[in-house]
Amino acid sequence: MSDWWEITGGVTAPRGYKAAGIAAGLKPSGAPDLALIVSDVEAIAAGVFTMSQVTAACVDYCRQRLMSAAGARAILCNAGQANASTGNQGWLDALESAMTLGQALNISSESVLLASTGVIGQRIKMDAFKAGIPKLVESLSENGSDDAAKAIITTDLVTKSIALETTIHDRPVRIGGISKGSGMIHPNMATMLAFVTTDAAVSPGLWQEMLSRAADKSFNAITVDGDTSTNDSLIALANGQSRTPAITEMGAEAEKLEAMLTAVCQHLAKAIARDGEGATCLIEVRVSGAQNERAALQIAKTVTGSSLVKSAIFGRDANWGRIAAAAGRAGVPFEQDDLRIKLGDFLLMEKGQPQQFDRKAASTYLKETAAESSLPQDVAATNNSNDLTVDRNTLKTQRIDNPVIIEVSVGNGKGEGKAWGCDLSYDYVKINAEYTT
């Protein structure tokens, strides 16, 4: 049993935060496309960003800001244009974005962090952007998390949000988060954006360490299609408004806060994987018996990212050979005779040898799992990728509590790891084939 519980409110559940999301005219569809999260006071900021050598202006901007100072008041995100591979003018647009918001909030532009999502190679529509800032600031609300979550999505079918609460020093402490992502998702920051807030008080260095470790166990452990984006960003603010003593080193309080932070990030990461473009189910790969956690995670990522495994799951085919092959090519040494594979409750391989199992029942397990976590028809309709948005009146939360479970054991080591992904369907090709045409 965990030391925390789920609450409502997303990124505005922690004390001292407001959020907003509006339609500023950045998306052709007219859907929400500009989001803002603001702390009432200067907050400690941390970030984890894409490992790609091709980076968006917002990523370069945030890295520069966080290297010079660990404080921030606001996170501003636009959807529709990625502002990546846009040269010096894209960089100037980022600077102007921060300055425009800073003036509207009456804070320093140095306290503004940026994120963008959309088509690579397209600059932000600055005229519409600047015209929308006053309305965005005016819309800030302690109940604005859902609006912000809607304004950051592109090809997503659902919004993604979570908030948890615990007690530290007998006072409530909360962490909330929102994220977006559906395609171009792969470990080493899988296109995804995630914004996390907490009212805990944490020292800058420790907060960054916590976030990096949480990212490794969540956003760096998901894959949809094997592609890492130019814009991937995970940004976290800690404003201390819970009025609890500052956490400056690892100990019981720090471990509790980090565990809750990891839980928030894992929820958001799994929601991204389940909402993979064209996906019909979430896949969870659990690896045990490896030499260490890193080795186990490497195997789990490789199995989860295998196009053949993903295709078999979509076809409801319990093809254990594809799982074994993926585990074997993960770059982690193990004895073939130690390999054990399960799909749900079905034992497929033991001691490196295939086992007799009911293939029809295993296929039914895959079908039923996908059906139980499927979206209602009004939400699961074909996505309009031309507009880079899901223009629906109501976005529903995707179920992530019933994934297809694949268990792989490779020996007697203590290393364990988990990774998440989704199946690979015909619709994935359709969505991405028509992305900009």
The residues that are catalytic are 191
Helix (H) or strand (E) holding 22: strand 17-22
- On whether the CB atoms of residues 167 and 173 are closer than 8 A, the answer is yes
Query: Which H helix or E strand runs over 216?
Result: helix 204-216
* Token pair listed for 411: 């020996």
Q: Which residues are CB-neighbours of 293 under 8 A, at least 6 positions away?
A: 415, 416, 417
Amino acid occupying residue 271: A
- Which has the closest alpha carbon to 179: 157, 199, 162, 155? 162
- Check: CB of residue 196 under 8 Å from CB of residue 161: no
Pairwise CA distance, residues 165 & 414, whole Å: 31
Three-class secondary structure of residue 231 per DSSP:
coil
C-alpha span between 126 and 106 (Å, rounded): 20
How far is CA 345 from each of CA 161, 181, 325, rounded to the nearest angstrom?
Answer: 30, 30, 21
